[in-house]
Structure 1
Amino acid sequence: MVIPPPVRPERITKFLKPYVLKMHFTNKYVTAQVIHSPTATVASAASSQEKSLRSSMENTRDVAAASKIGKILGERLLVTGVPAVSVFLKRDQKYHGKVKTVIDSLTEAGIKLV
């Protein structure tokens, strides 16, 4: 049985940014995904855990891996037709290091930030 995503009232969805970038960093991997907030579905995602990417990376957790993940995510978003995203940073994430690298490589790929 498939559970449909929650339907939000229109008064809430008109104030939401439609596509939100969320990033997660562990001691081993870098993961980034773009979520379509009105429908609560994942529009596109990229991770250094993917088998096809792991073989081409020297290290799956450093800044170079974060740059590659941002570039791949940007290319996937352009294929799906998402022109712009807004960034959601967690409380402990600051705009430097891996976070900055993912966002900068996304903008280099042609995705605009809202």
Structure 2
Amino acid sequence: MIVHICFGTTDLERAGKFYDAIAKELGAARANATDTAIYWSKPGSGIGFAATIPYDGKPAHFGNGVMATIGAESQDQVDRMHAAALANGGSDEGAPGPRPNGMYCAYWRDPDGNKMNAVAMGG
């Protein structure tokens, strides 16, 4: 079982602003922060996501083929998360809409290039 997802960042302050906006749309918020990492979760759910300066001191970079998926409660929530990502320095990787698999999805990259998506089942 996955406990949480963590993405590396080259700019913790920028990552904080970006993921604060995404977390807000999920009803989540910062749960903890250190000089090198920020953690977000929904109350009572444990840590769900973290952004961190890499511990090895090397530059952060995204993985090709790596993506984190966020379960959304509705198509509207997918739309809001995608809009929040783009409004806070993210880039579009696939506009919100129905997909052939019967899901409603949107895709984006954070300012460091990490790929994410949100999905509402049965879209």
When you count strand as a share of all residues, which structure comes out higher?
2
Between Structure 1 and Structure 2, the one with more helix by share is 1
State the TM-score, normalized to the length of structure 1. 0.30
| Larger-gyration structure (1/2) | 1
